[in-house]
Amino acid sequence: MGVLAYCPTCFRLVPATERICLACGTDSGALSSREFAAKLRAALGHPRGEVRLRACEILGQRGECAAVHDLLALARRETDTFVAAAAVTAVGQLAPEIAVTALEPFLAPETPGRVRSAALRAIESLRR
């Protein structure tokens, strides 16, 4: 197995050497990095939770700082706690300077446990 990349349309893992996604036929070579980032941000509103989750993770890994406010908004409205936790984690990765303040509200007792733990981990890793 060689290097893997994400398809910018369906967010499945595909070999980085494949320009055309085997699952959905998207030509990733035709997209600029900026278009890819825009697609990722749009995917935060995707109806499938696993796509929203993956978009959070990739935005965090790619260092797409412009997505921080989208991620925070998602974390606040998201009902799937796996997705909300991924959004919180990505905020910690992307915006250390605002993350502690932005993530503190997620430490409230009414926040679902998984999301609260993700916020706590993000804040603690920044304070280290």
**Among 25-33, 63-71, 82-90, 94-102, which window interacts with Zn ion (CB under 5 A)?**
25-33
Cα 112 to Cα 24: distance, rounded to the nearest angstrom: 34
Task: Report the nearest approach of Zn ion to the CB of residue 8 (Å).
Answer: 8
Q: Taking a C-beta distance cutoff of 8 angstroms, is the pair 57, 87 a contact?
A: no
24 makes contact with Zn ion (CB under 5 A):
yes
Residues 98-127 that bind Zn ion (CB under 5 A): none
Neighbours of 91 (CB within 10 A): 29
Among 5, 9, 18, 82, binds Zn ion (CB under 5 A): 9
Q: Which residues contact 125 (CB under 8 A, 6 or more apart)?
A: 92
Task: Give the interface segment with Zn ion, choosing from 18-26, 74-82, 105-113, 117-125 (CB under 5 A).
Answer: 18-26
Segment 63 to 82, residues that bind Zn ion, using CB under 5 A = none
Q: Is 23 in the site for Zn ion (CB under 5 A)?
A: yes
Which whole-number Å values give the CA distances from 102 to 28, 92, 96, 120, in the listed order? Answer: 34, 9, 10, 12
Query: Which residues contribute to the site for Zn ion (CB under 5 A)?
Result: 7, 9-10, 21, 23-24, 26
